[in-house]
Amino acid sequence: MKKIVFILSFFMLSLDAKDYTLHVQTQAFITMMVEEYNFKRAYLEKLFSSVEKQTRPLAIVTRKPSKKPSLALQKKYPRYGAWDRYVKHKVTAKRVRQGKVFLRKYRRVFAKAEKRYGVPKEYIAAIIGIESVYGGNVGKYPVFDTLTTLAFEKNRRNKFYKNQLKKFIVLSFRNRFNPKNVKGSYAGAIGLCQFMPSNYEPYGVDFNGDGRVTLQNPVDAIASVANYLKQNGWRRGEPVATRVSYAGTRFKKYKTGYDRTYNRAALVGIAPKQKWVYHDKVRLIKLNRAEYDELWYGAKNFYVLTRYNHSAYYAMSVHQLAKKLKNSLS
């Protein structure tokens, strides 16, 4: 009976598989890989001949944003409190405890990375904590099948995902792993630091000296995050952000956002709540809370955090988690 069930299950799985070699675009892609990277056509055709179409990632990528939220959504997500809703899932007591364990377990690796790249260990750990819960959640989707689906099934980012698929196949060859055996996010991001395949070459670091970059390995992931931040302009020894005061409860006096800078002298009525030694231009970062707007100065290093994820809320959650991690170790 068990054997019959196993055979039936295998047969059912095979029915879900799709032969992408029948796609004209896939054949053109295979030809490009053969001509530009000297891959064997037979090897690539075998890879693409049985792909589990990833319907969930495709649905996420092709989903159109709602122009007007429903009454139910308006009730669930009121006008104010966007930061409150965002941060409660990113910076938690549990994630701080997990981060403290992670930092202590790899303390020598963090010390080495901090010395080489100039990025404090708590910021490296905070990014890994938010991206993958320190490796506890690196994603459940097969990366090759996901990228193939997103590359060849109609969506507005086909070109982007074809490039990611190309990078991933080349990466699998150079780092000697089976591309069918790697799981990641719905978008094809990989490892503890959730790099897209195109980020491996410019930012990935073989920090354990085994001859390959493996971002499922904490040692390589730690150094790769630090290298990413350094290459994007991280300034050793400089602050990231500080909270500031202003008159009122909702801030509208100046435009806010990580991509706009000000001379501090021009920002009338705004001042740091504590001593803050920083002499360059600042960004005004507004956190929308239920009862008021929280306002912060963001330094150049805050902007660097937004290069990892282009969101002021993301960068602020990294900053706040990093501060809590640092305090937990003292």
Q: Residue 15, Cα to own-chain centre: how many angstroms?
A: 33
Q: How far apart are CA 202 and CA 219, in angstroms?
A: 17
- Give φ, ψ of 184 to 5 degrees: -160, -155
CB atoms closer than 10 angstroms to residue 274: 7
Q: 130 with 90: CB under 8 angstroms? A: yes
Q: 143 with 184: CB under 8 angstroms? A: yes
Which CB contacts under 8 angstroms, 24+ apart, belong to 155-162?
155/58, 155/61, 155/62, 156/62, 157/61, 161/188, 162/29
Provide the residue count of the chain: 330
Left if phi > 0, otherwise alpha if psi is -120 to 50, otherwise beta: which for 309? beta
Residue type, 99: G
- List of E strands, 114-164: 141-142
Residue 129 token pair = 């904590």
Q: 160 with 189: CB under 8 angstroms? A: no
Identified catalytic residue from 52, 122, 131, 153? 131
* First-last CA distance in the chain: 59
Residue 235 token pair = 């300034």
Residue 317 token pair = 């959650």
**Of the candidates 254, 310, 318, the residue with the CA atom closest to the CA atom of residue 282:** 254
Q: For residue 131, indicate whether it is catalytic.
A: yes
Catalytic center residues: 131
